[in-house]
Amino acid sequence: MDCVPALDEPLKKVLGPATAKVMAEHLGLHTVGDLLHHYPRRYEERGQLTHLADLPMDEHVTVVAQVADARLHTFASSRAPRGKGQRLEVTITDGSGRLQLVFFGAGVHKPHKELLPGTRAMFAGKVSVFNRRLQLAHPAYELLRGDAEETVETWAGALIPIYPATAKLESWKIGKALQTVLPSAQGAADPLPESLREGRGLVPLPEALLKIHRPHTKADIEEARARLKWDEAFVLQVALARRRYADAQLPAVPRRPRPDGILAAFDDRLPFTLTEGQRKVSEEIFADLATDHPMHRLLQGEVGSGKTMVALRAMLAVVDAGGQAAMLAPTEVLAQQHHRSVTEMMGDLAQGGMLGGAENATKVVLLTGSMGAAARRQALLDLATGEAGIVIGTHALIEDKVQFHDLGLVVVDEQHRFGVEQRDALRGKGKQPPHLLVMTATPIPRTVAMTVFGDLETSVLDQLPAGRSPIASHVVPAADKPHFLARAWERVREEVEKGHQAYVVCPRIGDEEDGAKAKKKSPEDEAEKRPPLAVLDTAEQLARGPLAGLRVEALHGRMHPDDKDAVMRRFAAGEVDVLVATTVIEVGVNVPNATVMVIMDADRFGVSQLHQLRGRVGRGSAPGLCLLVSEMPEASAARQRLNAVASTLDGFELSRIDLEQRREGDVLGQAQSGTRSSLRMLAVIDDEEVIAEAREEATGIVAADPELERLPALRTALDALLDEEREQYLEKG
Q: What is the pLDDT of residue 386?
A: 92
Q: What is the pLDDT of residue 665?
A: 40
Query: Of 655, 662, 651, whose CA–CA distance to 441 is shortest?
Result: 651
Confidence category of residue 320, pLDDT binned at 50, 70, 90 = very high
Q: What is the pLDDT of residue 599?
A: 94
Give me the chain's average pLDDT, please: 80
Taken in order 382, 384, 388, 393, the sign of the CA dihedral is positive
- Distance in angstroms (rounded) separating the CA atoms of residues 72 and 54: 27
- Amino acid 686 reads D
Of all helices (H) and strands (E), which one includes residue 217?
none
Judge residue 8's burial from the number of C-beta atoms within 10 Å of its C-beta, 0-12 exposed, 13-18 middle, 19 or more buried: exposed
What is the C-alpha R_g of the chain?
A: 32
- Distance in angstroms (rounded) separating the CA atoms of residues 214 and 176: 11
pLDDT at 725 over 50: no
- Distance in angstroms (rounded) separating the CA atoms of residues 613 and 72: 64
Q: Among the residues of 411-529, which ranges form H helices?
A: 420-427, 445-452, 482-497
Confidence category of residue 199, pLDDT binned at 50, 70, 90 = very high
pLDDT at 294 over 90: no
Per-residue pLDDT of 141-185, as tens digits, reads 878 775 555 556 555 556 777 777 666 776 667 888 888 899 998
pLDDT at 689 over 90: no
Nearest 5°: the CA angle 142, 180, 190 is 125
| C-beta of residue 534 within 8 angstroms of C-beta of residue 556 | no
pLDDT at 226 over 70: yes
- Distance in angstroms (rounded) separating the CA atoms of residues 669 and 722: 9
pLDDT at 468 over 70: no
pLDDT at 652 over 50: yes
Q: What is the pLDDT of residue 597?
A: 92
Coil, helix or strand at residue 367: strand
- Distance in angstroms (rounded) separating the CA atoms of residues 35 and 164: 12
More confident residue, 234 or 469: 234
Q: What is the pLDDT of residue 396?
A: 83
Where do the DSSP E strands lie in 288-405?
A: 296-301, 324-328, 363-367, 388-393
Exposure string for 359-396, b = 16+ CB within 10 A, e = fewer: ebbbbbbbbbeebeeeebebbbebbeeebbbbbbbbbb
Confidence category of residue 371, pLDDT binned at 50, 70, 90 = confident
- Distance in angstroms (rounded) separating the CA atoms of residues 11 and 22: 11
Residue length of the chain: 733
Cβ neighbours of residue 159 closer than 8 Å, sequence gap 6 or more:
43, 44, 45, 215, 216, 217, 218, 221
pLDDT at 679 over 60: no
> Residues 268-295: what's their mean pLDDT?
91
Question: Which DSSP state fits 77?
Answer: -
Cα 467 to Cα 270, 312, 341, 618: the distances in Å are 15, 20, 18, 10
- Amino acid 353 reads G
More confident residue, 89 or 160: 89
For helices 607-614 and 651-662, what crossing angle results, to 10°?
A: 160
More confident residue, 421 or 386: 386
Exposure string for 595-619, b = 16+ CB within 10 A, e = fewer: bbbbbbbbbbbbbbbbbbbbbbbbb
Per-residue pLDDT of 700-723, as tens digits, reads 999 999 998 999 888 888 887 765
Query: Of 509, 262, 253, whose CA–CA distance to 362 is shortest?
Result: 262
- Distance in angstroms (rounded) separating the CA atoms of residues 74 and 72: 7
Coil, helix or strand at residue 499: coil
Q: What is the pLDDT of residue 312?
A: 95
Confidence category of residue 281, pLDDT binned at 50, 70, 90 = very high
> Residues 59-71: what's their mean pLDDT?
81
Q: What is the pLDDT of residue 47?
A: 57
pLDDT at 460 over 80: no
- Count of H-run helices and E-run strands, the chain: 25, 21
| C-beta of residue 594 within 8 angstroms of C-beta of residue 442 | no
Helix H, strand E, coil C: the string for 53-65 is HHCCCCCEEEEEE
pLDDT at 675 over 90: no
Least confident of 236-240, 395-399, 511-515: 511-515
Q: What is the pLDDT of residue 325?
A: 95
- Distance in angstroms (rounded) separating the CA atoms of residues 84 and 278: 78
What percentage of residues in the chain have a pLDDT greater than 90?
29
Per-residue pLDDT of 6-64, as tens digits, reads 778 888 888 889 889 988 888 888 889 889 988 887 776 655 556 776 777 766 676 77
pLDDT at 500 over 90: yes
Q: What is the pLDDT of residue 455?
A: 57
> Residues 230-258: what's their mean pLDDT?
85
Least confident of 124-138, 304-318, 322-336: 124-138
pLDDT at 456 over 80: no
pTM of this prediction?
0.60
Other C-beta atoms closer than 10 Å to the C-beta of 530 total 10
| C-beta of residue 28 within 8 angstroms of C-beta of residue 34 | yes
Cα 75 to Cα 69, 78, 487, 572: the distances in Å are 20, 10, 56, 75
If you average pLDDT over each of 194-208, 248-262, 420-434, 642-656, which comes out highest?
194-208
| C-beta of residue 412 within 8 angstroms of C-beta of residue 436 | yes
Q: Among the residues of 68-193, which ranges form H helices?
A: 109-114, 149-157, 171-181
More confident residue, 620 or 403: 403
- State how far Cα 175 lies from the chain centre: 30
Q: What is the pLDDT of residue 81?
A: 62
> Residues 443-470: what's their mean pLDDT?
61
More confident residue, 419 or 724: 419
- State how far Cα 323 lies from the chain centre: 36
- Distance in angstroms (rounded) separating the CA atoms of residues 631 and 476: 8
Phi, psi at residue 629, to the nearest 5°?
-90, 130
More confident residue, 243 or 629: 629
Query: Of 447, 565, 550, 541, whose CA–CA distance to 498 is shortest?
Result: 550
> Residues 353-380: what's their mean pLDDT?
87
Where do the DSSP E strands lie in 427-470?
A: 435-440, 457-461
- Amino acid 278 reads Q
- Distance in angstroms (rounded) separating the CA atoms of residues 91 and 216: 31
Q: What share of the chain is helix, strand, coil (3-state, %, to 5)?
A: 45, 20, 40
Least confident of 108-112, 239-243, 291-295: 239-243
Q: What is the pLDDT of residue 669?
A: 40
Least confident of 581-590, 634-643, 685-694: 581-590
Q: What is the pLDDT of residue 447?
A: 47
What does 571-634 look like in DSSP terms, one character per residue?
A: HHTT--SEEEE-GGGSSS---TTEEEEEETTGGGS-HHHHHHHHTTSS-SSSPEEEEEEE-S-T
Least confident of 16-20, 238-242, 423-427, 500-504: 423-427
Other C-beta atoms closer than 10 Å to the C-beta of 215 total 21
> Residues 607-631: what's their mean pLDDT?
85
Q: What is the pLDDT of residue 391?
A: 95
